[in-house]
Amino acid sequence: VQQLEESGGGSAQAGGSLRLSCTASIITYPYSMYCMAWFRQALGKEREGVAAIYADGSITNYADSVKGRFTISRDNAKNTLYLRMNSLKPEDTAMYYCAADPVMCGSLVHYEYNSWGQGTQVTVSS
């Protein structure tokens, strides 16, 4: 994937919800062949994996910190990845990035993905 564009970030109160989207374009293979994931990076911290989804959407993987609150999904007909974030906490504040790779399905390790978006900022206030 040569271009990933995130949207949907913004500000929310603790306990609130946001939905992020990531649209892929200029892709080498059909979008349905790509493993996709969401990562985040807070100021001064390392990039961490949030959620990953298999190419066909059948299997998902979540970081412990977001299990039960965040849901990753994809619409392969629209070349779009989503992240529904509920029960937001101030510690969820970060820049959120989507990533793609044709091989590393389910991984939450950032260096295993070779295509990245520019990110969308999420800020949660208490």
- In this predicted structure, what is the pLDDT of residue 29? 85
CB contact at 8 A, 124 and 10: no
- In this predicted structure, what is the pLDDT of residue 115? 93
User: Of 58, 9, 14, 10, which is closest to residue 38 (Cα–Cα)?
Assistant: 9
What are the b/e assignments for 104-121, b being 16+ CB within 10 Å? bbebbebebbebbbebbe
pLDDT tens column, 39-78: 999 999 999 999 999 999 999 999 999 999 999 999 999 9
User: Of 66, 81, 88, which is closest to residue 117 (Cα–Cα)?
Assistant: 81
pLDDT tens column, 22-45: 999 977 889 999 999 999 999 999
Residue 2 and residue 17: Cα distance in Å, rounded?
29
